[in-house]
Chain A
């Protein structure tokens, strides 16, 4: 950990989030616009921590019904089955295709949960002004950001199946209410990641105790 690391804000400079240009702010309060790309400059993302927390909590709430409610309802002539994410994974495992079961389990259960935990960890450490393992936390943030969109896999498969299997009197598949909540979890975590300002990680331990929430 380089002790010489100084944040731009601490040096009285503001960086553009779009093009990365470091410039002198127009005012202390409102840094103005980027002279190169014209996007609005901010010292730090507005209410970053508060927003992230809010979205994270919303995602956590939605995570519960997403796993309890069925995501897929299969109607055939002889039966009508409603499957939750977990029961689907269990069904795949018991029917022998354990790799698929692992994929479903990882993509649909563990990744969203991991994202929630990771974001919470980042937020807490930032709020506490922790300086330890800043680099790892930054890496964790990048990981969460990249991985985020892939957890829509489950929703994607769901919509695919519903659209393809519509043999009305014989067999039909319809989405369950769980899939909406699952989608909400994914979208909310993505938004939470988006609203989290990773620069806050580096603010800890610097003289610039910025205007984070």
Chain B
């Protein structure tokens, strides 16, 4: 390595202080802090959803900061403030809704308080027992945004199922409630969504929801009826028990169907109004457009005749009893049962063949005058009379039957009164009773005791006879059997000897080399020879018949 020589004066290297970076790395920390802080601020602003106010009647179980707003069990917001409304009548619940659910806060969105609810048809909101009540939410279909809502008192049952709603008009609510099922052919097709007193206070408007696909079976002709509990009816037709399933039995329910006579029709419009019938039979009755009221005045007890009992015309159901009461004859002060019946001519019309339809129509739908004349003719000339008949001997239910009694006397009827009184005849039920009691009386008068005694005597003598017979038989047994036995023995012996004898005979006659056989063969041989000589003789005689006279002649003559 060459040494630096003094001859080469080299310049001195300068020491430069290290270049200072103008900006220290430490500045990352405030930048980072700023970024985080700004990030949080931005996130806060971005996630800030709308603040809504829901007005409730009461804020039961709703607490600021604790109660959530849930949709499909997902928290979409929380209650921030609960306070009385300005009028102190309601409660204003302010809730902060998350940004994501902010778009759902539209005009027809629904809010309600979810709380544990125990009904016969089930227990709902059980989770709220631990978590506390929460505000349920159902989105609307509108596009119009809104921040102030009115909360519902009760939860809407159906949330987003497709289907249609109808209104049923009922007289009373009965055992129905929100959530009560609606059946179609015993399948659950929907539920009762809400009910309210009708504006006029004379009924209940029940809003029902029928889910798809059942809703298309609700036509304008459809009848709804109350299927709650067991429907037990005792009528002239017997005892009828009908129920729509166990749940309906316990919790109540509705059913619907179209009556068989209904003309096929398209589905009813949503919101269509129907009448709620009390039971299936009522619902399925044909609507009686024409109803004619008549009066029957009986002179016998009408025990067992109830309102609604059928009225038949020649055995065909044609109406029903609408009132059972009493009438007083002002002249005699006599009381008579007065029965009001309603006649539905259309029922008769439905039974008439198409060919006779036109004639029948004139009869049923003609003017009052024509009708009166017609009835008069039938009553006076053909003897149409009403009569009480027993529909069911067990239950004693009565019904009114109209039949022809050709021999009936001509009735005196005021043809101008309204409702018209129709003539009646006494029922056959008292006849039957009289006959029965007659039979009973005869039965009663029978000398049953004497007969009994005689029978007993007879039986005693019969017993004696039988005893004698028995004795006789035992004697026969003792006296006859032993000799009989001996006889039998002897007979057997005789038969045996006969048998033996026959066997012997057999040997003598048919056995091989039996003497008889031998003799027989010899005899037969002799007979053959005799026959041969006889033939020779006959041949000769044939040729020489004269020999019989002349004797044998010489051959050569």
Contact = CB atoms under 8 A, between A and B. Distances in A.
Contact of B37 (A47, A61, A79, A195): A61
A80 B41 CA distance: 23
B40 A177 contact: yes
Given A78-B63, A79-B63, A62 B24 contact: no
A211 to B, nearest CB: 8
A65 B63 contact: no
A114 B66 CA distance: 37
Given A55-B29, A58-B29, A69-B40, A50 B65 contact: no
A24 B553 CA distance: 217
A64 B40 CA distance: 11
Contact of A65 (B17, B18, B20, B40): B40
A54 B63 contact: no
B33 A61 contact: yes
B65 A80 contact: yes
Interface in A37-91: 47, 50-51, 54-55, 57-59, 61-62, 64-65, 69, 77-82
A29 B17 contact: yes
Given A29-B17, A69-B40, A79-B63, A51 B26 contact: yes
Contacts of A177: 40
Given A47-B24, A64-B37, A54 B65 contact: no
A106 to B, nearest CB: 24
A213 B40 CA distance: 33
B11 interface: no
A62 B26 contact: no
B23 to A, nearest CB: 8
Contacts of B66: 78-80
A65 B30 contact: no
Contacts of A78: 63, 66, 132
Given A69-B40, A79-B63, A79-B66, A54 B15 contact: no
B89 to A, nearest CB: 26
Interface in A4-54: 29, 47, 50-51, 54
Contacts of B63: 78-79
B132 A58 contact: no
B30 A50 contact: no
Interface string B14-32: 0101101001101101101
B40 A51 contact: no
A54 B17 contact: no
A61 B40 contact: no
A194 B402 CA distance: 119
A193 interface: no
A184 B33 contact: yes
A64 B32 CA distance: 14
B24 A61 contact: no
Contacts of B34: 58, 61
B65 to A, nearest CB: 5
Nearest to A180: B36
Nearest to A64: B37
Given A50-B24, A61-B37, A81 B65 contact: yes
A186 interface: no
A177 B17 CA distance: 45
A65 B37 CA distance: 7
A4 to B, nearest CB: 30
Contacts of B41: 65
Contact of B33 (A58, A69, A77, A79): A58
Nearest to B17: A29
A47 B26 contact: yes
Contact of A29 (B15, B26, B29): B15
A188 interface: yes
B75 to A, nearest CB: 12
A212 B396 CA distance: 122
Interface in B54-103: 63, 65-66
Contacts of B17: 29
Nearest to A79: B66
Interface string B264-299: 000000000000000000000000000000000000
A29 to B, nearest CB: 5
Nearest to A61: B33
Contacts of A64: 37
Contacts of B132: 77-78
A127 to B, nearest CB: 15
Contacts of A184: 33
Contacts of B32: 58
B40 A79 contact: no
A64 B41 CA distance: 11
Contacts of B27: 50, 54
B143 to A, nearest CB: 34
B27 to A, nearest CB: 5
Contacts of B30: 54-55, 57-58, 61
A131 B41 CA distance: 41
A79 B15 contact: no
A162 to B, nearest CB: 19
A74 B40 CA distance: 22
A177 B40 CA distance: 10
A120 to B, nearest CB: 13
30 contacts: A29-B17, A47-B24, A47-B26, A50-B23, A50-B26, A54-B26, A54-B27, A54-B30, A55-B26, A55-B30, A57-B30, A57-B33, A58-B30, A58-B34, A61-B30, A61-B37, A62-B33, A65-B40, A65-B41, A69-B40, A77-B132, A78-B63, A78-B132, A79-B63, A79-B65, A80-B65, A82-B65, A184-B33, A195-B26, A213-B24
Interface of B: 15, 17-18, 20, 23-24, 26-27, 29-30, 32-34, 37, 40-41, 63, 65-66, 132
